[in-house]
Amino acid sequence: MSIDQTDKRIIKRLQGDLPLVPRPFAAVARELGIQEQEVIDRVADLAASGVMRRFGATLRHQQSGFAANVMVAWRVPPADIDRVGQALAAYRQVSHCYHRQADPRFPYNLYSMVHGKSRDECRQVVADMAAEVGIDDYELLFSEQELKKTSMSYF
């Protein structure tokens, strides 16, 4: 879908925090000077077309029982990327899985975020994954500190 100026104004508003009121789209519509139904229709289109990948409440996972996470960087032969990527993505503990362009200084080309209740649990899951996909060249990058976490402000 193509994004027009009204969509951009709605996206700009939705990337922030919506008021917790019975009719949040009416509140947005008032702020932007358009009709509530038009806001609802446009937001529904943004969701249906995949431009908006989710709509709802963002949780702080540290407070929802998933205390540990590890980014695992895998070095996978190019011909095996799809097979391994799909196998890793199938794990419920994996939230993100991307094939990335490697760098000679860090020659890993597949990245997965693994979540668990503890670092040991993360390690165990990663060991299971490694055995399943048959890749033993990987790096565990445990997060030690959140330095910044925000949502992008587009437009």
Partner 1 sequence: MDELDKAILRQVQSKLPIDAHPYARVGQKLGLSEEAVIERLERMKKSGVVRRIGGNFVSTRLGFASTLCAAAVPEDKFEAFVAAVNAHPGVTHNYRRAHEFNVWFTFIAESMEEIEANLQRLRQQTGVKDILSLPSQKMFKIKVDFPV
84-103 residues in contact with partner 1 (CB under 8 A) are 85-86, 88-89, 94-103
51 contributes a contact to partner 1 by CB under 8 A = yes
- On whether the CB atoms of residues 67 and 117 are closer than 8 A, the answer is yes
16 contributes a contact to partner 1 by CB under 8 A = yes
**Residues in 65-84 that interact with partner 1 by CB under 8 A:** 65-66, 71, 81
36 contributes a contact to partner 1 by CB under 8 A = yes
Distance CA 45, CA 10 (A): 12
124 contributes a contact to partner 1 by CB under 8 A = no
- On whether the CB atoms of residues 68 and 119 are closer than 8 A, the answer is yes
Smallest gap from residue 131 Cβ to partner 1 (A): 19
Distance CA 89, CA 49 (A): 23
Question: The tokens of 142 are what?
Answer: 């445990």
